Amino acid sequence: MVKANWPKHIPPFWSTLVASAVLRVGLILYSEWHDAHSVVKYTDVDYRVFSDAARLLLQPNGTQLDNAAKGPIARRLVLHIGSPYTRETYRYTPLLALLLLPNELLHPSFGKYLFAACDLVNGALIHQILLTSLLPLQGTKSSAPLPGNKAQTAVQVQDTVPHSTRERDAMATLLAGSHLLNPLVFSISTRGSSESILCTFVLLTLYSALRRRWDTAAILLGVSTHWKIYPVIYGVSCLAAIASQTRRTNKDHRLVRGIFCKESIRFAIVSASTFFALGAFCYAIWGYPFLYEAFLYHLHRLDHRHNFSPYFYLTYLTYPGQGGGDFVDIPLWRRYLRSPLTSFIPQLTLSLGFGILFGQHRVDLPFAWFAQTYAFVLFNRVCTSQYFLWYTLFLPLIAPRIRSPWLCAIVWFGTQALWLAEAYRLEFLGENVHSSLWLRGLIYLAGHAWVLTKVIDDYTVDAMYTTCR
């Protein structure tokens, strides 16, 4: 058996939080200097889009002739507010532009500090979830039988789980620190990406669900889905958890029947009501441009570059202006394959299926959400490095149950590096390597799919030795 050797001198969590804050403040200050002295900017182009959108909110009658908000309420009440959608490529909720108004009123880097602050909140939430909901339930043997030769492996995993309060606190600090000090995380927020705000909403939803505060979780899920549509998939795992909870209370209830119990229906109604209420508010002020840019645009979005997805090559071949001809000239079968709706079949089948399969117990919700998000990103028609943050957010929460993290990391990073090496030739050298890049995209797909299956296998075996109900 393997005995865990936990470091005896782990700094307290607050010191990790302070170090993370100092790091982010330093990078934001550096970004201001770098952008002023370099042609290649540190600040992400999206941040300039956000800032322009916030400025347009304050200029309904500015240099843009048609910049006034176009919603029915805005027109009827003659609200003096502009539309963020006058800024091309702004395809987010207008609430983000409202949050970033201090970029114009106080300081241009306000948004970066806001995103960095959300990073710190996320680290604190991960630490709290580990201490209160996950680590105390691990390390105890279940009565469930183990399949054949996996028994010894599961026992070894159990001996690496912390048992004492001090060990749990040390492990929670290390895992939360792995998020706070993750270069992908702090570089994205300090460059001006707003992903950390969505991550805060998602973690708050998860924390509420783990604490059985289902009404709060439903409201937060509605807010998360309004902010960006993909968190809607988490609703399935929440319904599965509520259904299983009802089934344990009423022994005659089956899972499918439990999904339609009054608690599940209440959760669905509260969550949907929150989503539609926020949407109705934004539509009333900003009208159809909000509806199209924030939601409808993504249904037919076509990206033939900067895209890990192997779907990109077919999109490139049929993209107007890239030799693909006009859409009406494309054969029907190629139109169907090109349609973003086609990718929804494997994407939603896996995402929703994982939610039902792994979400039947509250303590497994972090893993269910990881598996759902991983599958959603992997099979999405558009996939960039920024999307990886959506599921790496859950890694600190499921890491104690993963047996082969280094092997998974090597495959995960290696397949990306293979793709990026070829993408460099396309993007920066202008070489025609679309077909070879597509082949590497297939390798990326296969490698990342293997990582997901390996993580699922690790988690399933370890869960057999854990009483967490």
In tens, the pLDDT along 126-180 reads: 999 999 988 876 644 433 344 444 444 444 444 445 557 788 888 999 999 999 9
User: Cβ(393)–Cβ(121) under 8 Å?
Assistant: no
Dihedral through CA 86, CA 200, CA 237, CA 397, nearest 10?
140
What are the CB-based long-range contacts (under 8 Å, 24+) for 372-378?
372/233, 372/234, 372/236, 372/237, 373/230, 373/233, 374/448, 374/452, 375/347, 375/350, 375/351, 375/452, 376/230, 376/233, 376/347, 376/350, 376/351, 378/445, 378/448, 378/449, 378/452
Q: HSE of 252 in the Cβ direction (CA atoms, 13 Å)?
A: 0
Per-residue pLDDT at 468 exceeds 50: no
In the three-class reduction of DSSP (H, G, I as helix; E, B as strand; rest coil), residue 58 is classed as coil
pLDDT of residue 253: 54
> DSSP labels for 255-313?
HHHHHTSHHHHHHHHHHHHHHHHHHHHHHHHH-HHHHHHHTGGGGS----SS--STTHH
Least confident of 17-21, 79-83, 232-236, 459-463: 459-463
In tens, the pLDDT along 173-212 reads: 999 999 999 999 999 999 999 999 999 999 999 999 999 9
Residues sharing a CB contact under 8 Å with residue 320, sequence separation 6 or more, in sequence order: 326, 327
In tens, the pLDDT along 344-391 reads: 888 889 999 999 999 988 899 999 999 999 999 999 888 888 899 999
Section 214-232 average pLDDT: 97
DSSP 55: H
pLDDT of residue 354: 95
**Phi-psi bin for 430: left (phi > 0), alpha (psi -120 to 50), beta?**
left
User: Cβ(53)–Cβ(97) under 8 Å?
Assistant: yes
* Banded model confidence at residue 18, pLDDT cuts 50, 70, 90: very high
Residues sharing a CB contact under 8 Å with residue 13, sequence separation 6 or more, in sequence order: 127, 169, 172, 173, 176, 177
Q: What is the chain's mean pLDDT, rounded?
A: 84
User: Cβ(286)–Cβ(83) under 8 Å?
Assistant: yes
In tens, the pLDDT along 59-102 reads: 877 655 578 888 899 888 777 889 999 998 899 999 999 999 99
- What are the residue ranges spanned by the domains of the chain? 212-300+342-379
pLDDT of residue 70: 86
In the three-class reduction of DSSP (H, G, I as helix; E, B as strand; rest coil), residue 191 is classed as coil
pLDDT top residue among 329 and 271: 271
Percent of residues, the chain, with pLDDT higher than 90 = 54
pLDDT of residue 422: 85
In this prediction the pTM is 0.87
Section 241-246 average pLDDT: 84
Cα distances from 232 to residues 199, 205, 378, in angstroms, run: 14, 12, 17
For tokens 């929670």, what's the residue?
A: 172
Residues sharing a CB contact under 8 Å with residue 242, sequence separation 6 or more, in sequence order: 214, 258, 259, 261, 263, 264, 267
**Residue 166's CB: how many other CB atoms inside 10 A?**
12
Per-residue pLDDT at 337 exceeds 70: no
